[in-house]
Amino acid sequence: MKIAVLAGDGIGPEIVAQAVAVLEALKLPLQLEYALVGGAAYEALGHPLPEATLEICQRADAILFGAVGDWKYDSLERKLRPEQAILGLRKHFGLFANFRPAILYPELANASSLKPEIVSGLDILIIRELTGDIYFGQPRGRRAASDGEFDGATEAFDTMRYSEPEIRRIAHVAFKAARKRSKRLTSVDKANVLETFQFWKEIMIEVSKEYPDVALDHMYVDNAAMQLVKAPKNFDVIVTGNMFGDILSDEAAMLTGSIGMLPSASLNTKSFGLYEPSHGSAPDIAGQGIANPLATILSAAMMLRYTFNNSLGATTIEVAVKQVLAQGLRTADIFQAGAGTTKVGTVEMGQAVVEAINGIMKKT
């Protein structure tokens, strides 16, 4: 199992170290290669995604990614900012399908931002198209306003675009995923305003004819945002574009108690994947040993399932995480005083998962 390990910035190295420890506890044939990415790469090599890092990723079967970014890089020109590394990897490897599950563990029902009776049993899968939309649309830039509306000031523009093959490709991924679950798919768009998403909706309807066993419905993104906090369990699988998916998946994260619990997988057509937590680099808590590593650990489980077809290993990690939560161990983001829980740090949480895995493996 050739894995490129890109820890990145902020809390990235801390949480990735725990995910690696968990993978090693499974006694798998791992071949790990480490490389710099993001701000760390810019500091050392002058670019957030150096050629040497890209070469290591090309030799790998999958990428285990931490997080990139720091406020101190906000003044850099766009192409040198740490976030360009993740966009560059998505584009280079054609990572078009982003899977973001939002699952509420029973032990964390009281940590959710919503009442337990609204979110208990929550299990949503958000599928986000990852290589199109306004993040990659051309043209983009700034220019002088021609109509005088801005009194000679400059204006900025980004182009929202999708091609038919891009929409059709993510549609098939979403319908197949829904077919393996409850056979319900919600396509989120803004077809009442945006031509891009009228086009999206038309193609979704066309593709749905190939999946007569899957019920398809459509929802405007603003309504979807409201329904996620009003009645989230009405959703099962959601498919949407790049920008809407970015926003909605972070909203769904808070339903689970903390964004520190949400893993993600970004896949191409050949099952090559980049696996990362849904949260960011959190430079404000970096180096304090208090970050939640569970999203990264669960991302490693997704890597075993989707790239290496190792369902047993993935399930072992997921069961171990459930056991640790059942024991009452909590990092600061999910800790509740007086709830019979114990606050632990990043390393302690990771080690607890490793010990749980050891126990599971002894029984089998």
Catalytic residue numbers? 135, 190, 222, 246, 250
Sign of CA dihedral 42, 47, 48, 49: negative
Amino acid at 256: T
CA distance 242 to 199: 15
CB 273 within 8 A of CB 267: yes
Tokens of 267: 């896949």
Cβ 129 vs Cβ 241: under 8 Å: yes
Instruction: Give the span between the Cα atoms of 220 and 135, in whole angstroms.
Output: 20
Question: Which ranges in 209-345 belong to alpha helices (H)?
Answer: 221-230, 242-255, 294-306, 311-326
Nearest to 353 by CA among 24, 2, 10: 24
User: Per the structure block, which two tokens stand in for 305?
Assistant: 């399932």
Residue 227, classified by CB atoms within 10 Å of its CB into exposed (0-12), middle (13-18) or buried (19+), is: middle
Site of tokens 């290591």: 56
